[in-house]
Structure 1
Amino acid sequence: MADTESSRARGVDRVIAMFRQLHIAQRPLTMRELIEATGAPRSSIYELVAILAEVGWLETAADGSVFFGREMHYYGSDYATHNDLISRAHQSILALVRKYDETTQLCMLEGNKYTVVLSENSARPFNISSDIGVRVPIPWTATGRLLLGHLNADEIRALIPAEDFILDNGVKIEFDDFLKDVQGAKEQGYCCTEGLSNAFRLCMAAPIRDRAGLPIAALCFMTGRDTSPDRRGAMLDDLLQSAKALSQR
């Protein structure tokens, strides 16, 4: 009995691993890529793909590559409709994009990482975005600084891995400097960062709070650093108002 339960648990773990790898890749993967990425036995991956394709969770193309199936879209749509914050935030994001034609996102923390939950890009040829659901180091973002204000220095140090303070361009963010940014974001009620993960990027983040007043998510504008001061001010005002409207009183 124990061996059967253990085998089933391994099967579930392998399904989760396959889904994570497909999400990270953001494209169909060959069977060989799935096997290498998950480290699971070849026979196990082939069997799981066949089962999941049969129920519509996965789809296989003519070349044998594998990606998410139609059923997964239905489940995601159900979640977005059921989750009150995501449903309301989507409408706010659409309104902000229509008004400013700038990429707008709903962002949250996921464990010790940051992730984009919703994103609508601007219609301009040049826009800045991040992939939905991809986990990014917290110190790389304005949102990360904004959502840690309720933690003390020791809690923040324990939460964030040391390697996450190194940006993708190799520049290291000193912990004390990051801590000052967190405190500053808490005091002013928003956070703006320039040139962190992208030399030309300006990010504005405004907090969405729960009933206790703690920040649980953020509305974000992703735009260029050449945005004029007047436009920055107007965007920030609307971002703060929208985030406040989404907060639970």
Structure 2
Amino acid sequence: MSASESSRARGVDRVIGILKQLHIARRPMTMRELIEATGAPRSSIYELVTMLTEAGWLETSVDGSVFFGREMHYYGSDYAVHNDLISRAHQAILALVRTHDETAQLCMLEGNKYTVVLSENSSRPFNISSDIGVKVPIPWTASGRLLLAHMRAEEIRSLIPDEDFILDNGRRVEFQDFLCDVQRAADQGYCCTEGLSHTFRLCMAAPIRDRTGLPVAALCFMTSRDTDPEKRAMMLEDLIRSAKALSQPYTRL
């Protein structure tokens, strides 16, 4: 690689670094914060922020802080429309929320973490949800147990960092217990967890499968642990039915 090519590659890496740090922070960041977070030279960050602001990728507030610009919203909307699964899942999630008035989500794995891709909250003042795009340890989730159901024990051990088995309350999920949960999720075709990442959270998830039958995503309900058992059963039934409907176009190919 030539010196000019190497310089351009570093510039691209720094642009990616800026966008990642803004996503992690989920709020406007000062130039000083961006420089410290990315570890890039001050002059490079100022130059790149100026270029990205002119392109509409970033916006600068009157106090000098920086955040995503309007163009990023357009790109995200284009992706959501173009991606068939996300487009159809959004309609399914809206229908689930209208029917049950509970927070519904589309979840996927990203590397060795779990993330929420789509989320719609209930209309009630109290709702429980995770932020879109935030990476969460797989053992903290019902969806993660479903999305690993096709993997062997040694593959799961290799995939998940040991520290990810420690919940945010400090309790450790033992690996063998986790494997049992994964197998149970595979056998049942759904997974329900209570009090994992949040003490009062109940999560139920159903898999969306590709044409080979492998789980590629999960449709989820997030609610409270005191949800009436009869309502739980109705929610789970609708969740499984919706996930199977989203899987159908893939299995027919």
TM-score (norm: length of structure 1): 0.99
Aligned twin of 1:245: 245
Cα offset, 1:21, TM superposition: 0.8
Q: After the TM superposition, which residues 133-172 of structure 1 pair with which residues of structure 2 at under 5 Å, given as runs? A: 133-172=133-172
Residue 30 in 1 paired to residue 30 in 2?
yes
Q: Which residue of structure 1 aligns with residue 194 of structure 2?
A: 194
Q: Where does structure 2 lack aligned partners over 5 or more consecutive residues?
A: none
Displacement of 1:5 in angstroms is 0.8
Q: How does 1:1-249 map to 2 (within 5 A)?
A: 2-247=2-247, 248-249=250-251
Shift of 1:145: 0.3
Q: State the Cα distance separating 1:143 from its structure 2 match.
A: 0.4
The CA distance in 1 between the partners of 2:3 and 2:132, in whole Å, is 37
Which digits, 9 at most, give the CA deviation of each residue in 1:51-91, with x for residues without a partner?
00001011101100000011101100000000000000000
Shift of 1:15: 0.8
Task: Report the residue type matching 1:21 in the other structure.
Answer: Q
Q: Distance in 2 between matches of 1:10 and 1:162?
A: 32
Per the TM alignment, residue 24 of structure 1 is displaced from its structure 2 partner at its CA by 1.0
Q: Secondary structure at the match of 1:118?
A: strand
Q: How far apart in 2 are the matches of 1:161 and 1:17? A: 23
Q: What is the RMSD computed on CA atoms of the aligned residues?
A: 0.7
Deviations 1:190-238 (A, max 9, x none): 0000000000000000000000011000000000000111110000000
Task: Work out the CA distance in 1 between the residues paired with 2:39 and 2:123.
Answer: 40
Structure 1 residues 156-201: Cα deviation after superposition (integer angstroms, max 9, x where no partner): 0000011111111111111000000000000000000000000000
Q: Distance in 1 between matches of 2:146 and 2:49?
A: 40
Runs of 4+ in 1 over 2 A off after TM superposition: none
State the alpha-carbon separation in 1 of the partners of residues 125 and 70 from structure 2. Answer: 30
Q: Following the alignment from structure 2 to structure 1, what is the Cα–Cα distance between the partners of residues 13 and 164?
A: 26
Tell me the secondary structure at the aligned position of residue 205 of structure 1: strand
> Aligned with 1:213: secondary structure?
coil
Q: Distance in 2 between matches of 1:9 and 1:167?
A: 37
Q: How many pairs are equivalent? A: 249
TM-score (norm 2): 0.97
Which amino acid is 2:74 matched to? Y
Give 1:3 shift.
1.0
Give the distance between the partners of 1:144 and 1:170, measured in 2 at CA: 19
Shift of 1:2: 1.0
- 1:75 maps to a residue whose letter is Y
| SS of 2:131 mapped into structure 1 | coil
| Most deviating of 166-175 and 235-244 | 166-175
Give the unaligned 5+ runs of structure 1: none
State the percentage of identical aligned residues. Answer: 79
